[in-house]
Amino acid sequence: MAASTMPAAALSPTTTRVLAVIPPMTQLNTPYPSTAYLTGFLRSRGITAFQEDLALALVLRLLSPDGLKDVAARVAALPAKQRSPAVQSFAAQQDRYLATIGPAIAFLQGRDSTLAHRIAGRHYLPEGPRFATLDVYVDDEGGDPLGWAFGALGLHDKAKHLATLYLNDLADVLRDAVDERFEFVRYAESLAGSQPTFDPLATALAAPPTLVDDLLVQLTHEAIERHQPTVVLLSVPFPGSVYAAFRIAQAVKARWPHIATVLGGGFVNTELRELADPRVFDHIDFVTLDAGERPLLALLEHLQGQRGRQRLVRTFVRNDGEGGDGAVQYINMMEADVAFAEVGTPTWDGLPLDRYLSLLDMLNPMHRLWSDGRWNKLTVAHGCYWKKCSFCDVSLDYISRYEGASAEVLADRIEAIVRETGQTGFHFVDEAAPPKALKALSTELIARNAGISWWGNVRFEKTFTPDLAELMADSGCIAISGGLEVASDRLLQLMKKGVSVDQVARVTKAFTDAGILVHAYLMYGFPTQTVQDTVDALEYVRQLFANGCIQSGFFHRFACTVHSPVGKNPEEYGVTLAPLPPGDFAKNDVAFIDPTGVDHDALGAGLKKAIYNYMHGIGVEEDVRMWFPFKVPKTTVRRDRIERALRERG
What is the DSSP code (8-state) at residue 22?
A: E
Number of domains in the chain: 3
Give the CATH number of the domain where residue 538 resides: 3.20.20
Has residue 353 been placed in a domain? no
Contact (CB, 8 A) for 375 and 425: yes
Which residues, including other chains, have CB under 8 Å from residue 49's CB and lie 6 or more apart?
17, 18, 19, 20, 38, 39, 42, 43
Q: Are residues 520 and 433 in the same domain?
A: yes
Q: Are residues 64 and 146 in the same domain?
A: yes
Has residue 539 been placed in a domain? yes
The tens digit of pLDDT for each residue in 218-262 reads: 999 999 999 999 999 999 999 999 999 999 999 999 999 999 999
C-alpha to C-alpha distance for 212 and 355, rounded to whole angstroms: 20
Helix (H) or strand (E) holding 556: strand 552-557
Has residue 509 been placed in a domain? yes
Which residues lie across from 262 on neighbouring strands? 233, 286
Which residues, including other chains, have CB under 8 Å from residue 164's CB and lie 6 or more apart?
108, 359, 360, 361, 371
Helix (H) or strand (E) holding 591: none
How confident is the model at residue 222, as a pLDDT?
Answer: 98
What is the DSSP code (8-state) at residue 338?
A: P
The tens digit of pLDDT for each residue in 371-424 reads: 999 999 999 999 999 999 999 999 999 999 999 999 999 999 999 999 999 999
| Alpha-carbon Rg for the chain in angstroms | 25
Q: Where are the alpha helices (DSSP H) in 199-241?
A: 199-206, 211-227
Which residues, including other chains, have CB under 8 Å from residue 623's CB and lie 6 or more apart?
none
* Residue range(s) defining the domain that contains residue 115: 60-178
Q: How far from the centroid of its chain's Cα atoms is residue 23's Cα?
A: 13
Last residue of a domain, one of 114, 145, 178: 178
- CA torsion 316-322-325-326 (nearest 10°) is 50
How confident is the model at residue 151, as a pLDDT?
Answer: 59
How confident is the model at residue 2, as a pLDDT?
Answer: 39
Has residue 42 been placed in a domain? no
Helix (H) or strand (E) holding 542: helix 531-546
Q: Are residues 463 and 596 in the same domain?
A: yes
Q: Are residues 499 and 618 in the same domain?
A: yes
Q: Are residues 173 and 70 in the same domain?
A: yes
C-alpha to C-alpha distance for 58 and 220, rounded to whole angstroms: 10
Last residue of a domain, one of 178, 210, 235: 178
Residue numbers of the chain with a pLDDT score lower than 70: 1-14, 136-153, 186-189, 649-650
C-alpha to C-alpha distance for 133 and 145, rounded to whole angstroms: 10
Give the CATH number of the domain where residue 199 resides: 3.40.50
- The strands making up 286-288's β-sheet, listed across from edge to edge, are 48-53, 17-22, 231-235, 260-264, 286-288, 315-318, 328-331
Q: Are residues 194 and 146 in the same domain?
A: no
Identify residue 643 by its one-letter amino acid code.
E
Q: Are residues 469 and 509 in the same domain?
A: yes
How confident is the model at residue 136, as a pLDDT?
Answer: 58
Has residue 360 been placed in a domain? no
Phi and psi angles of residue 519, each rounded to the nearest 5 degrees, phi first: -115, 135
The dihedral region occupied by 188, where left means phi > 0, alpha psi between -120 and 50, and beta the remainder, is left
Q: Are residues 405 and 548 in the same domain?
A: yes
Q: Are residues 216 and 297 in the same domain?
A: yes
How confident is the model at residue 139, as a pLDDT?
Answer: 46
How confident is the model at residue 14, as a pLDDT?
Answer: 54
Contact (CB, 8 A) for 100 and 110: no
Has residue 356 been placed in a domain? no
Q: Are residues 147 and 195 in the same domain?
A: no
Q: Where are the alpha helices (DSSP H) in 242-292?
A: 242-255, 266-271
Identify residue 324 by its one-letter amino acid code.
G
Last residue of a domain, one of 325, 342, 359: 342
The tens digit of pLDDT for each residue in 180-195 reads: 999 887 666 677 777 9
Buried b (16+ CB within 10 A) or exposed e, 69-99: ebbbebbeebeeeebeebbbbbbebbeebbe
How confident is the model at residue 184, as a pLDDT?
Answer: 86
Helix orientation angle between 242-255 and 199-206, rounded to the nearest 10 degrees: 50
Has residue 51 been placed in a domain? no
Contact (CB, 8 A) for 316 and 263: no
Length of the chain: 650
Has residue 53 been placed in a domain? no
How confident is the model at residue 11, as a pLDDT?
Answer: 39
Q: Are residues 490 and 392 in the same domain?
A: yes
Residue among 525, 432, 512, 524 at smallest CA distance from 477: 512
Identify residue 57 by its one-letter amino acid code.
A
Q: Are residues 96 and 199 in the same domain?
A: no
